Amino acid sequence: MELSTLKYKFYNIYKEDLSQSKTQVAVKTYFSPGRVNLIGEHIDYNGGMVLPCAINLGTYAVVSRRQDSSVKVMSMNFEEMGILSFELDQIENEPAMDWANYPMGIFNEFIKRGHAIENGFNILFYGDLPNGAGLSSSASIEVLTATLINDYLSFGLTKTEIALLCQKSENEFNGVNCGIMDQFSIAQGAKDHAVFLNCDTLTYELVPAALKDYCLMIINTNKKRGLVDSEYNTRRKECEIAFKLIQKGFHKRPIKYLCDLTPIEFLEVAELLSDDAVYKRAYHSVVENFRTHESKKALSSGNLIEFGEWMYSSHESLKNYFQVSCKELDIIVDLSRNIRGVLGARMTGAGFGGCAIALVEKDKCDYYIEKVGRSYNDKTGLKADFYIAEISDGTGAIHESF
Ligand code: GLA
């Protein structure tokens, strides 16, 4: 949907409120990206290094303040649900509020921290991210809501503070035990750069993602991500168990997270982990962290062939050790391996369905889409969607005249 169409709809939907206002109402527009993680999967909650980037698919919002203390939100993606509203002094997670529980949680978190929000907002959202496909549509809307509140009310939060506020809201208000990677990369993303983030200290480096003759292809398996929340929590618990056992038996230095260990140090203490699942989760975490360091070096030095190899090995580890892949994602990666001009492919995000990414030679993109699309459909009966992603800036106001 064009931005001008979205604005037109905004004026139509909220016309009564806008016409009642005695003063000129400031209407602003914002964009918040989704993200793909290039490498460093399931280690943000283990103090690891991750390498995500913000993408040009995401969520748009048209916004104005209200005279009263109501917040009235609507999404063009769920138009049939109409306007959903809540009062700033009565915020509670309610199933009937459906998707609006995400923006609502953000208002709640600002208020809980003592930021006074007296007047409410009208917000019209529209997203071109496929929902529930692992490209972080929820973090996109969270960071969008926090950014617009921070901007309208001049609260002065930094992007890192916004990311942390959003993560807290998702953990506590929405009950999803996510790490910091999604909100951080969406808030701090930069055009044509990946975010090399230390999830323990939150220090980061923007790494130029010079993909040269290659493009970043996103492949949505359209396999619904069943079980993702419960399996995600199980993986987190298994990692905690592994960490506690290792922490007790590792005497070289104090460690805070699984990812503080090098792969060799891990092998020295691996026998402490007698449970097979716990061992496998920890092994993946430590080696994935190493892979992320090496991949970052490869990307910085323009060695895309090596980078692609790391992508494949990350996928293998997520499949065999962390066990968060699924048949559909594996098929996409296997098909990719057999196409000339593809340097690497892997699942991205939490897994159990959703999206894979691949580095595909620009000239071969059409061929890739045709070939992978057809074979995938033959093997699964599902139709995959393909997007050629651009790496974009993080969340912010859109500056243009209307
Ligand atoms: C989800 C979570 C992130 C991260 C990834 C896996 O996207 O929200 O915090 O744990 O899964 O890397």
Question: Tell me, what CATH number does 305's domain have?
Answer: 3.30.70.890
- Whether residue 305 is found in the same domain as residue 194: no
> Do 200 and 222 reside in the same domain of the chain?
no
Structural domains of the chain, count: 2
Q: Are residue 44 and residue 77 in the same domain, yes or no?
A: yes
Strands (E), 52-109: 52-65, 70-75, 84-87
Same domain for 240 and 183: no
170 shares its domain with 251: no
Same domain, 146 and 243: no
Instruction: Render each residue's pLDDT in the chain as its tens digit; 402 residues.
Output: 899 999 999 999 999 888 887 777 889 999 999 999 999 999 999 999 999 999 999 999 999 999 999 999 999 999 999 999 999 999 999 999 999 999 999 999 999 999 999 999 999 999 999 988 999 999 999 999 999 999 999 999 999 999 999 999 999 999 999 999 999 999 999 999 999 999 999 999 999 998 999 999 999 999 988 777 889 999 999 999 999 999 999 999 999 999 999 999 999 999 999 999 999 999 999 999 999 999 999 999 999 999 999 999 999 999 999 999 999 999 999 999 999 999 999 999 999 999 999 999 999 999 999 999 999 999 999 999 999 999 999 999 998 754
**Which domain does 373 fall in, by range?**
217-389
Q: Which amino acid is it at 3? A: L
Q: Does the CB atom of residue 186 touch ligand 1 within 6 A?
A: no
194-238 confidence digits (pLDDT tens): 999 999 999 999 999 989 999 999 999 999 887 778 899 999 999
Q: What is the pLDDT of residues 154-166, one digit of tens each?
A: 999 999 999 999 9
Whether residues 231 and 315 fall in one domain: yes
Please check whether residue 343 is in contact with residue 217, taking contact to mean a CB–CB distance below 8 angstroms: no
- What are the two backbone dihedrals, phi and then psi, of residue 117, each rounded to the nearest 5 degrees? -120, 100
Of 182, 213, 229, 275, which one is the catalytic site residue?
182
Ligand 1: which of 164, 182, 257 to mutate, judged by most atoms within 8 Å of the beta carbon? 182
The answer, yes or no, to whether any atom of ligand 1 lies below 6 A from the CB of 347, is: no
Atom of ligand 1 nearest to the CA of 176: 8
Phi then psi dihedrals of residue 176, to 5 deg: -110, 125
In terms of domains, do 221 and 204 share one?
no
What sign has the CA pseudo-torsion 180, 199, 330, 360? positive
Res 401: pLDDT: 54
Note whether 196 and 277 are same-domain residues. no
Cβ count near 36 (within 10 Å): 25
